[in-house]
Amino acid sequence: MTPNAAPELELMRAAALLATDPQAAARRATEILANSPRNLEACLLLATAYIRLCLPTKAIAILEPFAAEYPSSAAIQLDLGRAYSADGRAADACATFSRAVALDPNLVDGWRELAAQLFALGDVAGGDAAYARHLSMAHESAELRDARKALAEGRLTMARDLAQQRLIRAPNDTAAMCLLAELAMQREHYREAEELLTACLAATPGYAAARFNLARVLLAAQRPLEVLPLLERLSVVDAANPRYFNLKAQALRLLSRSSEALSLMARIVADHPVDEQSWLLYGHLLREVGEPQRAIDAYRRALSIRPACGAYWSVANLKTFAFTAEDVRTIRDQLANGRARGLERVQLEFSLGKALEDAGDYAASIEHYIHGNAEYRASVGYDADAMTADVQRSKAVYTSNFFAERTHWGSERNDPIFIVGLPRSGSTLLEQILASHSKIEGTRELPEVPMIAAELVAPPLQRDRPLYPESVAGLGRAAIDAYALRYLERTVVHRTLGRPHFVDKMPLNFGHIGLIHLMFPRAAIIDARRHPLACGFSCFKQLFAKGMNFTYDQIELARYYRDYAELMEHYDKILCGRIHRVHYEQLVADPEREVRSILAYCGLPYEESCLRFHETRRVVQTVSSEQVRRPIYSEATEHWRHFEAWLQPMREALGNLVDRYPGT
């Protein structure tokens, strides 16, 4: 053994003790220094042990002389910075960490430590920038690399298992938490995702990916006011990232600030002309404000960059767009080459279904609609039995006696006009008609009622609390009044015209009618109803942005329609005359009669402008935006019959609802 072998071996043994027994490590380092007082490695090891033993002043006493003697050593600066930090000397720690990364810009731990000190000193932008440098150099674990690969390939269960395995090994791995949050977002479990991402940011405030994903979660939950500050912070560090500005434009859109969103996206596509996602969003915004040709031009730009980007489905959603033979060939090629996967492949299937439908090739069209629906249904969760159970529980809670005991509860205001029903039932047309009245403002699909209902749902880990809607029965009059007031306060941002009434068109609010009636007993509630097969087929051929997971299987769709009809019949019995029903086919056949009836129900005088609704210029954010900018046409009422031969599963599952529908 060489003369230096024993001290080196002792150093290795001492270093191995640092994590589990720092006191023993300190003893061994002291013994080494007794024989070799200038042994630098032993000094650094002893200083580290002192830091772990919460004796930072002793560590500083060792490290400061060495830092002066070896001013170009980034490692010594890093250890000294840690000692200053443990001693509460944040400014000294920050300066020392800054010297460390200046000496070695690739010092991964140095950038992380510097970020923590900058945050402690209140320098948020500096902390974010330092942590971004750390992440750019940090190595990801093998489990997480495999998990990300599985996520990219659509193997969600495997991705979740790998991320969870990583958290078992490293409970504080925020990258694994962030990945689990992404998986929760894919399942539309936004509360779970928010909790995971909030925990990530509490542990690592500079984690930009976690902050961006939290902004996405809050946007999906329609909480745009909370999104904007997150994006402002992100853009300070990375001002050229188009993803941040795309999300900001979507938040502005939800806040009814479409002109600002359009201006922002015009700048972004100019700065990033080959970013197809920016062109897609720009096209969506142009469609919503009534500029279909400019929207098509934007979608065409996206397609020229990447044909599978989803723009074909966007132009199909215009409903007035005519696919060319070249478009059809391109879509077929994209499906055939196998490169489009997941949602992009589903979008291509629906797009080809629409192109073939427009061409009158109904047999080929339905084949692609069926393929697209089946593929998308396999990727989302939906429990038809749970929906049926929810309806039964609503019927049990909301009885005649329930409302009789709560007479005179809620707000006296009648500002909101609630339009409920199923998607593709004519609700956007109804909203456009009402928004053409001088006393009514059209808004958008407002999230406030679902958000209140979500608060009344027992969290997954607190099942000792009542379920919703049973929890509504436990609310007192003051709580209902408070919810009504909060609803009015939060919808003010969408009432830009200051008219006395506004439309809240959130179709699936039919499930919250009991709560709505408690909060606003004087407000209008209109049920937009359409022939079950016409409505069902229109849903089946529509790929929704999110949240309509019952529409991708004919039998599940029929069951949902039955549950909806049963719940509405229940309210018709216990709240006789409270809900005004509008049948789409009758509205199309005799619009003036129906409009007069609707306005009379709302307590408003008839105005001829309501029949000229297609002349009303306003933002329309649903896929029916172009249809409601044209006069009423009757062709759509019977169009579903071209596909009737393929809708037998839906017809059978609907039971007698088809025969009972007015006019059949």
- Give the mean pLDDT of 506-511: 95
Model confidence at 632, pLDDT cuts 50, 70, 90, reads low
DSSP state of 468: T
The neighbouring-strand residues paired with 581 are: 527
The three-state secondary structure class of 208 is helix
Q: Which residue shows structure tokens 């099942």? A: 463
For residue 38, the tally of other CB atoms under 10 A from its CB is 7
Q: Which residue has the higher pLDDT, 516 or 26?
A: 516
- What digits encode the pLDDT tens for the residues 132-177? 898 888 887 888 888 888 887 778 888 888 888 888 888 888 889 9
Q: What percent helix, strand, coil does the chain show, rounded to 5?
A: 70, 5, 30
DSSP state of 636: G
**Average pLDDT score over the chain:** 90
Which of 532, 637, 628 has its CA nearest to residue 588? Answer: 637
Structure tokens at 119: 């945050």
The three-state secondary structure class of 529 is strand
- Give the mean pLDDT of 173-183: 90
CA distance 536 to 557: 7
Write down the pLDDT at residue 635. 67
Domains and CATH numbers, the chain: 5-137 (1.25.40.10), 140-221 (1.25.40.10), 384-660 (3.40.50.300)
Q: Which residue has the higher pLDDT, 207 or 633?
A: 207
Ranges of H-type helices in 170-289: 174-186, 190-203, 208-220, 224-237, 242-254, 258-271, 276-288
For residue 426, what are the CA distances in angstroms to 293, 311, 419, 627? 24, 25, 10, 10
Spacing of C-alpha 222 from chain mean position: 8
- φ, ψ at 4 (rounded to 5°): -90, -5
* 443 pLDDT above the threshold of 60: yes
- Kindly write down the DSSP assignment for every residue of 483-514, as one continuous string: HHHHHHHHHGGG--S--SEEEEE-GGGGGGHH
Q: How many percent of the chain have pLDDT more than 90?
A: 63
* 619 pLDDT above the threshold of 60: no
* 4 pLDDT above the threshold of 50: no
CA distance 499 to 542: 33
- What digits encode the pLDDT tens for the residues 336-367? 988 888 889 999 999 999 999 999 999 999 99
Would you say 663 and 585 are in contact if contact means Cβ atoms under 8 Å apart? yes
CA distance 394 to 583: 24
- Give the mean pLDDT of 644-659: 96
Mean pLDDT lowest among 179-183, 222-226, 633-637:
633-637
Give me the count of residues in the chain.
664
* 14 pLDDT above the threshold of 80: no
Model confidence at 422, pLDDT cuts 50, 70, 90, reads very high
Task: Find all residues with CB under 8 Å of 567, minimum gap 6, and list them.
Answer: 391, 394, 395, 510, 511, 513
* 5 pLDDT above the threshold of 70: no
Model confidence at 201, pLDDT cuts 50, 70, 90, reads very high
Would you say 198 and 190 are in contact if contact means Cβ atoms under 8 Å apart? no
- Which of 245-259, 287-301, 556-570, 610-624 is predicted most confidently? 556-570
CA distance 178 to 233: 18
Would you say 287 and 624 are in contact if contact means Cβ atoms under 8 Å apart? no
For residue 213, the tally of other CB atoms under 10 A from its CB is 24
Mean pLDDT lowest among 13-22, 157-166, 326-335, 566-575:
13-22
Structure tokens at 37: 């007082």
- Kindly write down the DSSP assignment for every residue of 330-391, as one continuous string: HHHHHHHHS---HHHHHHHHHHHHHHHHHTT-HHHHHHHHHHHHHHHHTTS---HHHHHHHH
Expressed in angstroms, the distance from the first to the final Cα of the chain is 100
What's the pTM?
A: 0.80
Would you say 92 and 77 are in contact if contact means Cβ atoms under 8 Å apart? no
* 23 pLDDT above the threshold of 80: yes
Half-sphere exposure of 595 (CA within 13 A, CB side): 24
Helix axes 174-186, 208-220, angle to 10 degrees: 20
Which of 115, 121, 182 has its CA nearest to residue 150? Answer: 182
For residue 663, what are the CA distances in angstroms to 294, 530, 579, 584? 40, 11, 21, 11
Structure tokens at 194: 């928010």
Model confidence at 459, pLDDT cuts 50, 70, 90, reads low
Helix axes 142-152, 174-186, angle to 10 degrees: 20
* Residue 358 exposed, middle or buried by CB count within 10 Å (0-12, 13-18, 19+): middle
Model confidence at 100, pLDDT cuts 50, 70, 90, reads very high
Write down the pLDDT at residue 6. 63
The dihedral region occupied by 547, where left means phi > 0, alpha psi between -120 and 50, and beta the remainder, is left
Would you say 596 and 289 are in contact if contact means Cβ atoms under 8 Å apart? no
* Residue 340 exposed, middle or buried by CB count within 10 Å (0-12, 13-18, 19+): buried
Write down the pLDDT at residue 308. 86
- φ, ψ at 481 (rounded to 5°): -60, -40
Which of 166, 136, 134 has its CA nearest to residue 148? Answer: 166
For residue 122, what are the CA distances in angstroms to 113, 117, 199, 560? 14, 9, 20, 52
β-pair type (440-441, 501-505): parallel
CA distance 250 to 252: 5
Query: Hey, what amino acid is at 412?
Result: E
| Kind plus residue range of the DSSP H or E element containing 583 | strand 579-583
- Give the mean pLDDT of 255-262: 90
- What digits encode the pLDDT tens for the residues 295-318? 999 999 999 999 888 899 999 888
Write down the pLDDT at residue 144. 85
Mean pLDDT lowest among 320-329, 584-593, 630-639:
630-639
Half-sphere exposure of 599 (CA within 13 A, CB side): 22
The three-state secondary structure class of 645 is helix
* Residue 134 exposed, middle or buried by CB count within 10 Å (0-12, 13-18, 19+): buried
Half-sphere exposure of 199 (CA within 13 A, CB side): 17
Write down the pLDDT at residue 625. 47
- Whether the CA torsion 5, 9, 12, 18 is positive or negative: it is negative
- What digits encode the pLDDT tens for the residues 543-585? 998 889 999 999 999 999 999 999 999 999 999 999 999 999 9
Model confidence at 620, pLDDT cuts 50, 70, 90, reads low
Task: Find all residues with CB under 8 Å of 496, minimum gap 6, and list them.
Answer: 256, 441
Write down the pLDDT at residue 621. 46
